[in-house]
Chains A and B, each alone.
Chain A
Amino acid sequence: MELFVQQLLDGIVKGSIYALIALGYTMVYGIVELINFAHGDIFMLGSFIALAVLGWFGVAINPQNQAGLVQGGFFPTLIIIVLTLLIAMLLTGIIGVLVERIAYRPLRNAPRLAPLISAIGMSFILQNIGQIWHGPAAVSYPEVFPTGTIHVTSGISVAWKDIFVVVVCVMLMVILQTFVQRTKLGKAMRATAQDYDTSKLMGINVNMTITLTFFIGALLAGAAGLIYGLSIHSMQFTIGAQAGLKAFTAAVLGGIGNIPGAMLGGFLIGIVEAMSDQYISSAWTPVVVFGILILILTLRPSGLLGQQVPERA
């Protein structure tokens, strides 16, 4: 039982990162119906950017103990991390906007599968940039949190960094949900997702709205990049594509285009992975994850929270 709860907690930590990446997929899909294959690589670059920003603040990997903990105590550390998060998010967001400008906007009026290919091309380009930047090997990330764990009961423990991961993810999701549901810009996004032409007629600047969507999606990917680095302590230029595939799966599982769905899907995939790693075998985890995905989609063809669109003649 304790093992189960422990795996559940680990799954939630993993899942919250998937959920953050999945949000970018689902928002972009909701508004332009494009599987943004480059999104996972934007996440990877975001992680590298965050590493660079941490470096500016003087947080570097100490080769002796692999710890780069800021000496100033709890609050300075926290401030630096929050600042890093914000700067990395902003810079990654700009990359997202650039990608949209270069590879997707010229294809706004092209056949449906054309942007998919330019997305794949963009993914190759971003991966190559990551590879040139940090080389083909994995790069280690500094340890900034206290390394100890909090013992909930005898067999269950939570690391400080895990608490940070979940808190930041949940906060970002709440902010996003509020933004999309309560603000004027959020309303414009929902309207554009619903009906592009009519939104245009209603005076919504749809181009700006689409740019904004890509910006927010990449923003969240940047946050996920920092969080991933601080949590896993390593990043490699190929990680983006792998995590992106899982996050995309999460988005579809929840019902693509649906924001709470992406969060649910992310957590679910994370938990399933953790359980499969523990109880079956990590070698079979991809089979289990995709098997469950196929099963769920066979039973609910539009994902868990996706709307069952009635077929119109």
Chain B
Amino acid sequence: MQKAIQPTSKSRLARATEQRFTRTALIVMGLVLLFLFVLPLVYNKANLKAWGIQPFFGVQPPALIGQLADAAQYVLLALGLNIVVGFAGLLDLGYAAFFAIGAYTYAFLASPQLSTVTHGAIDIHLSFWLIIFISALVAAIFGALLGAPTLRLRGDYLAIVTLGFGEIVPAVFLNLNTVPLTRGLTGGPDGISGIDPPGIATFGLGSDICPKLSMAANGATGGCSFSSNHAEPYYYLAIIIVVILIFAVTNLRSSRLGRAWMAIREDEIAAAAMGIDTVRAKLLAFSTGAALAGVAGAMFASKLQLVGPGSFSFTVSVFVLCMIILGGIGNIYGVIAGAVILQLTQSVFLTNLPNNLHDLGTKNHIDFLANTDWAGLKFLIYGLILVVLMIVRPEGLIPSARRKAELHGDTGEPAAEVAGVGALRNDETERANPIARAERESLYDVRDEDESHSSDVDKI
């Protein structure tokens, strides 16, 4: 995992690692992981009844585990989009396209679809563990392909081109079904169903072990496969993948490439002048981000066992963007928090809020609560949450620690964390937009000398 970094001395590597994962971060992560690991074991109906605890927002235990497993897919999406938008500063409004590509890749390689279309000539059922890499690779290739036309574009022109791709990709999956050459391939609006769930080998323990793991015995492979009745295996799988990718992305950020991205975000011209190959770095940002979306797509397809074009609309791209900005763009823990909070807000809190408020109203005889049609107000409440959160914390919940890095940035990597607190700083739009600049100056009045000097230069 440390391969991307080329240390000049061992001590520097050690220091860099220390900086990447502070002791506090590791402890917090460990505690969170322990909590997540124990949660399905403790949080079940029998225990809740025994302890007299109400279910979390009225969600029964098995459903909550499933919601958390779904939230993990959004965590991956947020981590990936954060690479493109947060690290490299390229506003991407069509990120769901790569999510779709990953999901459809999985669907083609692990469903009867190809067999049906070719009348049995091609029948591919690869293992989840293999396809997850293929999905990532395919998405990454498309990331580079779709990134290529945007290289000359800046700011919001780039945003609209990515938005265009985000509209085109699901439309292509929808319509390929009716094109003569690929008739029936993508299933049109119905999508592809009957997708294989992930499975594991029994390692000689026999298929009796499967029910104990909340899985089903799979006669075809002789192993156990996940089943849609039990979310726990998906939940643990999602946690493992997320943890691996958190480490990967954290390392990537402090790698040579990661620093190149942040340099490009801060000032593309200066970065190019410092010898950074901006074309290569930008394409890699798009493809790395896309690869994570590809993994998320594979997980999505394997869990739902159904893939349709409707699941990858512009709304999904916007939703993930909201997650990373609300969480604190550029900060890995921030975007994870944003993803979990927003996804649970949507899938647990808002879904159950109408019933909860209604019950509260009837129990305490508050007519207003009991009689309002809260279900019809779901989006209004969601919108209000977004607006209020943004007004209260415009820099996000956990902003990236720019100041901290500046103070401790003595490892010979001064540009390692020059992220504006939650700010996407594209130099040109910045200059064109004095409001944003003025604001930043008032927000961060405590600046080190280099910073204020450079902003003076800006003004000349």
Interface residues of A (CB under 8 A from B): 29, 32-33, 35, 37, 102-103, 106-118, 120-129, 131-132, 195-197, 245, 248-249, 252, 256, 281, 283-284, 286-287, 290-291, 293-294, 297-298, 301-303, 309, 311-313
Contact = CB atoms under 8 A, between A and B. Distances in A.
Nearest to A197: B434
B149 A112 contact: no
Interface stretch (B11-19, B38-46, B162-170): B162-170
Given A132-B377, A283-B175, A33 B157 contact: no
A29 B153 CA distance: 17
Given A33-B433, A117-B325, 20 more contacts: A29-B156, A32-B433, A33-B436, A37-B318, A107-B394, A109-B443, A110-B395, A112-B433, A115-B390, A117-B322, A117-B386, A121-B382, A124-B386, A126-B383, A132-B376, A245-B314, A287-B168, A294-B161, A298-B152, A298-B161
Contact of A33 (B85, B422, B429): B429
B439 interface: yes
A111 B424 contact: yes
B423 A111 contact: yes
A286 B171 contact: yes
- Which of B85, B326, B391, B424 has most A Cβ within 10 Å? B391
A89 B347 CA distance: 38
B90 to A, nearest CB: 12
Given A33-B433, A125-B383, A252 B157 contact: yes
B384 interface: yes
B161 A114 contact: no
Interface string B325-357: 110010000000000000000000000000000
Interface in B418-460: 420-426, 428-429, 431-436, 438-440, 442-443
A118 B269 CA distance: 31
Contacts of A195: 434
- State the main secondary structure of chain A at its contact with B: helix
A264 to B, nearest CB: 16
Interface in B268-291: 269-270
Given A107-B390, A197-B434, A312-B431, A116 B161 contact: no
Contact of B386 (A108, A120, A197): A120
Nearest to B442: A109
B178 interface: yes
B386 A118 contact: yes
B428 A112 contact: no
Contacts of B322: 117, 120
A265 B153 CA distance: 18
A108 B435 contact: yes
Contacts of B157: 252, 256, 297, 301-303
B159 interface: yes
* B interface SS class: helix
11 contacts: A108-B439, A118-B391, A121-B387, A256-B156, A284-B175, A291-B164, A294-B161, A294-B165, A298-B161, A303-B157, A313-B269
Most A CB within 10 A of own CB, among B165, B171, B384, B421: B171
Contacts of B159: 35
A303 B377 CA distance: 39
B164 A122 contact: no
A28 to B, nearest CB: 12
B434 A118 contact: no
Given A112-B424, A297-B157, A309-B432, A102 B387 contact: yes
Contacts of B161: 293-294, 297-298
A171 B204 CA distance: 79
Contacts of A301: 152-154, 157
A303 B422 CA distance: 28
Given A111-B423, A309-B428, A311-B269, A196 B434 contact: yes
B160 interface: yes
Contacts of A252: 156-157, 160
Given A109-B442, A283-B178, A290-B165, A117 B390 contact: yes
Given A124-B380, A252-B157, A287-B168, A113 B435 contact: no
Most buried by A among B160, B172, B428: B160
A111 B383 CA distance: 19
B8 to A, nearest CB: 30
A297 B153 contact: yes
Contacts of A120: 318, 321-322, 383, 386
Contact of A110 (B91, B152, B377, B439): B439
A128 B318 CA distance: 17
A128 B380 contact: yes
B428 A311 contact: yes
Nearest to A106: B391
